[in-house]
Amino acid sequence: MGSIVWSGLVDGAVFALLALGFNIIFSTTRILNFAQGEFLALGALLSYSLTVDHHLPVPAVLACVVLAMVAMGLVVERLVVLPIRLSGSSYAWIIATIAVAVTAENAMVVPFGRDPVRPPGLVAGNAFTLSGAPESWQTVLIIVAALVIVGLYEAFLAFTIYGRAFRATAHSLDITELMGIDTGLVIKASFVVSAIITGIAGVLVAPVTFADTSMGLRYTISGFVAVIVGGMGSSLGALVGGFLLGLVTAVAAVKISPGWANVIAYAALGLVLLLRPNGIVSRAAVH
Amino acid sequence: MAEMRRRLDELRRPSGPQQRAQRALYAAAGVGLVGLLVLPLLQDQLQVNDFLFFFITASMITILVTTALNLCMGYTGLLSIVHTGLFGVGAYATGILATQAHVNTWLSMLLGVVAATSAGVVIAAVSLRARALYFGMITLTFDLIIAGVATNGGRLTGADTGLFGVPQPQLAGNDLGTRGFYYLTLALTVLTLLAVRNLMRSRTGRSFMAIRESADTAAALGIPAYSTQILAFAVSATIAGAAGAVYVTLNGFVTPQSADLSGALILFIGVLLGGTATVIGPVLGIGVIATIQHYMEVTAPNYQQLIFGAVLLAAMMLVPAGIVGTWKRSRLGSLEEPEPPSSPIGNLVEALPAERGPALRLTGIVKRFGGVLALDRVDLEVVTGSIHGLIGPNGSGKSTLVSVATAFLRPDEGSVELFGEPGPRRPHLTARRGMVRVFQSPHIFERLTVLENAMVGLHLESRQRLPASVLRMPSFERDERRLRGLALSRLEEVGLRQIAMRPASVLSHGQKRLLEVARSLGARPRLVILDEPATGLAAHEVLALAALLRRLKRLGLTLLVIEHNVPFVMSVADRVTVLNEGRVLIEGEPALVQASSEVREAYFGTLEAAGE
C-alpha cells in the first residue's frame, strides 16, 4: 500500500504542475488550454534526445528545455489568441486549443518519431524502500520540485511587480489595460511561464514513465481534471486537485484496473463540475 | 396552386447578378446531387474503383455527425464535446446487439439510434444543470467516460481492439454491399439536411436560435429553455447515432478511437470551415477536408492530423465566417430574400375584459441581497388599460421590482398578483399569463432577421408541431403563413416592415428598441413592462416611442414603463410611482408627483443641481 500511495503522490505532483500551468494561462486569458500537455510532451522528448542522443549534462539539458519552452509558449500564444480574435466565435478558444494540441502532437512526430523512450533520471539511485519496493531519488525530486515550483510561482505573484501585473490582468483585462500595462505582453508572458513550468514537469516525469508524442493529450486531460477538481485560479487548488487525482487513480488502478481508474476519475470530475463547479478550493469562477 | 404561382412569379422577377449567382448555385447543387445518384451506374465507363464509393459514403457519415454538432453548437449555442461519443454509442449499441444478441441488423441499427438518443437526453439533462462553459466541459467528461467504457468493456465491447464481425444489413436476402450503403447513406444525408433546413425555418428552430442568442429573453417570450435545449440535443444525438449505426455496419467494426476526443477535430473543422448555423456548411466543410484527407492518404499518410490541425487554425483566421458565411457577405452572395406575401390577420391584441381592476398588484414586496435591503415593503398597483410610470434614482430598486414581478427573482416577502390571480412562478410562464417584459438594454436576437425576431415573439401563438414542421405538412404551412402575417402586422405597427428581411444586427439602437416592442406584442400580452425604453434613443426616436406607447394604450394594452427620462414618463403616463432607496416615495398623477416637494428634493433636486 505504501508504494501505491507513493506512486500516487508522484503522479499527483506532475498533475499539480500541469494544473498550475492551466491556471496561469487561464488567469490572464480565461482560456483552458487544451494544448497544455504538449508542453510536457516536448519537455520530456527533448530531454531524452539531449541526454541520450547528444550526451549533454543535466544543467545544459534544462537550459535548452527552458529556451525551447519560451519559443513554444510564444508560438502557441499566437496560434491560440489570433484565431480567437479573428473568428469572433464564442467557442473559438476551445477549438483553437484542440487544433494546436493535435498540430503540436503530430509535428513532434517529425523529429522524435512515434516510439516511446525513457531517459535516465536527473538524479540516480534509490532513496528508500516502501513495502518492499525501492523508490528512486527521481520520484523524491518530482514531489519536491512540484512543491518548490508552486511556492516560487506564488512568491512571484506576491512579491514582484510582474506578478502584480499578472494578478491585475487576471482581475480585469480592461482596467489593467487602462492602467497603462500592456496586457498583450502579460498574456504572452503567462504562456511562456506556463510553458516553462509544464515543460520542466515533462523533464521530471520522463525518467519514471515512458515519453512519446501521444502523451500530451493524456496529461492534458489529467491536468484538466486536477485543475477543475482543485478549482480554477488557485495554486493551492492545483496541488490539492493534482495530489487527489494522483492518489485516487493510483489506488483504483491497483484495486480495480488501470482502465477503469480513469473512467472513475472522469466520473468524479463530472460530479465535481455539477456539484461544486468552482472546484474544491475555489477562488475565481469561469465566465 | 397559389404556392406554385408564387414561385413562378419569383422566377419571372427582374434578375440581378445576385439572383443569377444564386440560381447558378442551386443548379450546381442539383447537378452535384444527380451526379452522386448516377455515379454508380457509370462506374464502368468512368473506371472508378469501389474505394471511391466507400470514401464518399464515409465522408457522408462524417457530414451527418457534423450536421448533428452544428445543430447543437451552431444553431442552439450548446458547445458539445461528446458528439464522437454519441456516434460511438450508436455504433457500439448496434454492433453489440447484432453480434452478441444476434438481433437482426436493421433492427439493431434502429435500436442503436434509440440508444444514442437516450444517451443524448441523459447527457443534456445532466449537463444543462451547469452554466455555458461548464456545460461543454461536462459533455467532455461524458465523452471520456464513453470512450473509457468502450476501452474497458471486456468481451462486451471488445476492449482496446474494438468490436469486430458486425454483419451487414440484408436487402432481399443479400448483404447491402458498397453500393447499397452508398445509396442508403446518400438518402439519409439528403433527408437529414432537408429535415434540419425545415426544422430551422419553424417555430422549434427559431426557439433553438433564440436560446442561443439569449436564454433569458427567450424565456421572457414563453420559450422554456431547459426542455427546448434537451430537445435540440436529443435531435442532434439521433442524427449522430444514426451515423454511428451506419458506420459500424458498413465497416463491420468499431474501435474506442471512434468515440474519443481525437475524432472531434474533423467535426469542428466541418462546422467552422463550412459555416456555423448553416445547413450546407457541414457539407462544404467536410467536403473540403475529406478531399484533402483522400489525397493525403496516398501521399503523406502520417501527417493527416497535422494538416487537419493546421487547416482548422488557418480556417479560423482566414475565413472566420466559414465558406457559407463568407459567401453571404460577398457582393454576389448578399441576396436579400424577397419579402413574403402577407395577409394581415386579426387584431393586434385580444379583446380585453370589461372590468377595470388592477392588471398587476404588488403588495408588501421585500427583497434582500445579502445584507442589502433592495426593496422595502413596496406596494404597486397598475390599473388595467393605463400607462403606469415607475421612476426613481439609480439604485432605487426599479429593476429589482420588475424582476420580482416577472418571476426572474423571488421576493423574500410580499405577493405578486397578475390580473387578480397569484403571479407566475417561473419566467417562461409569465408570457403565458399575458405579461411580457422588454429588457433594459435591447435583447434582440442579433443573428436572426427582423422578421424572425418578431416571429419568435409569436412562440405561444404558434400551433406548429415538430413532425409537421420537419415534413412541411399543409398544417405547418398554414400556421407559418399566419404567423408571418401576424409578425409583419406588428412590424408595420412599429414602422419596421420595410426592413423585415434584414438581419437584426444592422438596426440602430432605436430600431432595436422598436423591434423589441413589436416582438413582445407577439405573445398577445395584456400587460407590457418596458424597462428604460427611452435610454439611448435620439430625441426624435423618443417622440416616436411615446406615440407608439399611446397607440398601444388605445388598443387596450396596459403598460408599465420604468424610466430615467422624467419628461418622457410625465408625457405618457397616467399615473406615476416614485421609488427611492427601495421604498415608494409617492404615487399619483404626473402633475401631482411633479409638484411634490419630497420628490423634488429626493429626485428632481439632484437633477436640477446637475444642471438638467
User: Could you tell me where the DSSP H helices lie in chain A?
Assistant: 2-29, 36-48, 58-87, 92-112, 137-159, 161-171, 173-178, 183-205, 215-230, 235-255, 258-275
Considering B77-91, B266-280, B443-457, the range whose residues carry the highest mean pLDDT is B77-91
Query: Domain extents for chain B?
Result: 49-259, 261-335, 358-446+508-611
B301 Cβ under 8 Å from any chain A Cβ:
no
Q: CA–CA separation, B70 vs B273, rounded Å?
A: 12
CATH number for the domain whose boundaries are B358-446+508-611: 3.40.50.300
Q: CA–CA separation, B210 vs B216, rounded Å?
A: 9
Q: Compute the average pLDDT of residues B469-491.
A: 88
pLDDT of B612 strictly over 50: no
Quote the cell numbers at residue B399.
Answer: 429593476
Whether residue B587 contacts residue B398, with contact meaning beta carbons closer than 8 Å, is answered with no
Tell me the pLDDT tens digit for each residue of B353-392: 555 678 899 999 999 888 888 898 999 999 888 999 998 8
CB contact under 8 A, A99 and B261: no
**B295: how many CB neighbours lie within 10 A of its CB?**
10
Beta pairing class for B358-369 and B413-418: antiparallel
The closest alpha carbon to A238, from A228, A247, A250, A248, belongs to A228
B29 Cβ under 8 Å from any chain A Cβ:
no
CB contact under 8 A, A99 and B129: no
Quote the cell numbers at residue B479.
Answer: 400556421
State CA A116 to chain mean position distance: 20
pLDDT of B132 strictly over 90: no
Task: Determine which of A102, A245, A269 to mutate to test the interface with B (most B C-beta atoms within 10 Å).
Answer: A102
Report which DSSP code applies to B360. Answer: E
Residues of A in contact with B133 (CB under 8 A): 286-287
User: Could you tell me where the DSSP H helices lie in B252-395?
Assistant: 264-274, 281-299, 304-318, 322-329
Give the distance from residue B129's alpha carbon to the nearest chain A alpha carbon, in angstroms. Answer: 7
> For residue A218, what pLDDT is reported?
87
CB contact under 8 A, B309 and A106: yes
Give the distance from residue B309's alpha carbon to the nearest chain A alpha carbon, in angstroms. Answer: 5
Percent residues over pLDDT 70 in chain B: 91
φ, ψ of residue B82 in degrees (nearest 5): -120, 10
> For residue B136, what pLDDT is reported?
84
Q: CA–CA separation, B459 vs B580, rounded Å?
A: 37
Give the distance from residue A158's alpha carbon to the nearest chain B alpha carbon, in angstroms. Answer: 29
Q: Compute the average pLDDT of residues B205-225.
A: 88
Angle (CA) B131-B136-B141 rounded to 5° is 115
Quote the cell numbers at residue B490.
Answer: 406588428
Task: Give the pLDDT band (50/70/90) at residue A63.
Answer: very high
Angle (CA) B171-B173-B177 rounded to 5° is 50
Q: CA–CA separation, B144 vs B260, rounded Å?
A: 7
Identity of the residue in B149, B268, B302 whose CB atom sits nearest the CB atom of A263: B149
Measured CA to CA in angstroms, residue A191 lies from A148, A196, A219, B337 at distances of 20, 9, 17, 46
Q: Compute the average pLDDT of residues B318-324.
A: 84
Q: Compute the average pLDDT of residues B582-600.
A: 82
Question: Any idea which residue has 492602467 for its cell?
Answer: A179
Task: Determine which of A103, A257, A262 to mutate to test the interface with B (most B C-beta atoms within 10 Å).
Answer: A103
Task: Give the pLDDT band (50/70/90) at residue B199.
Answer: very high
Whether residue B87 contacts residue B240, with contact meaning beta carbons closer than 8 Å, is answered with yes
CB contact under 8 A, A94 and B309: no
State CA B125 to chain mean position distance: 18
| Cα dihedral: B3, B5, B6, B9 (round 10) | 160
Give the distance from residue A5's alpha carbon to the nearest chain B alpha carbon, in angstroms. Answer: 24
Strand order in the sheet with B583-588: B435-438, B527-531, B558-563, B387-391, B575-580, B583-588
pLDDT of B139 strictly over 50: yes
Q: Hey, CA dihedral for B417, B421, B427, B430, is it positive or negative? A: negative
Quote the cell numbers at residue A175.
Answer: 482596467
Give the distance from residue A205's alpha carbon to the nearest chain B alpha carbon, in angstroms. Answer: 24
Instruction: Identify the weakest region by mean pLDDT among A165-174, B342-351, B583-592.
Output: B342-351
Identity of the residue in A32, A83, A259 whose CB atom sits nearest the CB atom of B313: A83
What residue in B sits closest to A89 (Cα-Cα)? Answer: B320
Residues of A in contact with B136 (CB under 8 A): 91, 94
Residues of A in contact with B134 (CB under 8 A): 273, 277, 286
Quote the cell numbers at residue A196.
Answer: 516553462
Q: CA–CA separation, A144 vs A138, rounded Å?
A: 10
Q: CA–CA separation, B521 vs B503, rounded Å?
A: 20
B383 Cβ under 8 Å from any chain A Cβ:
no
Task: Give the pLDDT band (50/70/90) at residue B344.
Answer: very low
Quote the cell numbers at residue A24.
Answer: 496561469
Tell me the pLDDT tens digit for each residue of B251-301: 999 999 888 877 888 898 889 888 888 899 999 999 988 888 888 877 777
The closest alpha carbon to B73, from B270, B300, B293, belongs to B270
Quote the cell numbers at residue B558.
Answer: 396596459
- Average pLDDT for chain B: 85
Whether residue B529 contacts residue B405, with contact meaning beta carbons closer than 8 Å, is answered with yes
Quote the cell numbers at residue A125.
Answer: 539511485
What residue in A sits closest to B127 (Cα-Cα)? Answer: A274
CB contact under 8 A, B272 and A95: yes
Task: Determine which of B312, B316, B319, B329 to mutate to test the interface with A (most A C-beta atoms within 10 Å).
Answer: B316
Beta pairing class for B421-422 and B358-369: unpaired
> For residue B346, what pLDDT is reported?
47
The closest alpha carbon to B149, from B187, B119, B189, B178, belongs to B119
Quote the cell numbers at residue B151.
Answer: 476501452
Q: CA–CA separation, A277 vs B38, rounded Å?
A: 54
pLDDT of B92 strictly over 50: yes
Considering A87-96, A101-110, A268-277, the range whose residues carry the highest mean pLDDT is A101-110
Whether residue A92 contacts residue A84, with contact meaning beta carbons closer than 8 Å, is answered with yes
Angle (CA) B397-B403-B406 rounded to 5° is 140
Comparison of pLDDT for A194 and A285, the residue scoring more: A194
CB contact under 8 A, B141 and A94: no
pLDDT of B12 strictly over 60: no
Identity of the residue in B144, B316, B320 whose CB atom sits nearest the CB atom of A221: B144
Identity of the residue in B73, B129, B309 whose CB atom sits nearest the CB atom of A100: B309
Q: CA–CA separation, B277 vs B503, rounded Å?
A: 14
Whether residue A108 contacts residue A41, with contact meaning beta carbons closer than 8 Å, is answered with yes
B227 Cβ under 8 Å from any chain A Cβ:
no
pLDDT of A89 strictly over 90: no
Task: Give the pLDDT band (50/70/90) at residue A285.
Answer: very low
φ, ψ of residue A231 in degrees (nearest 5): 115, 130
Q: CA–CA separation, A84 vs A25, rounded Å?
A: 15
B268 Cβ under 8 Å from any chain A Cβ:
yes
B177-200 and B50-69 helices, crossing angle to 10° = 20
CB contact under 8 A, A99 and B126: no
The answer for residues whose C-beta is within 8 angstroms of residue A20's C-beta and 6 or more apart is: A149, A150, A153, A194, A197, A235, A238
Give the distance from residue A51's alpha carbon to the nearest chain B alpha carbon, in angstroms. Answer: 27
Looking at the DSSP assignment, which residues form a beta bridge with residue B577? B390, B587
CA distance from start to end of chain A = 41
Measured CA to CA in angstroms, residue A11 lies from A15, A204, A271 at distances of 6, 11, 22
A2-29 and A215-230 helices, crossing angle to 10° = 80
pLDDT of B196 strictly over 90: yes
Task: Give the pLDDT band (50/70/90) at residue B206.
Answer: very high
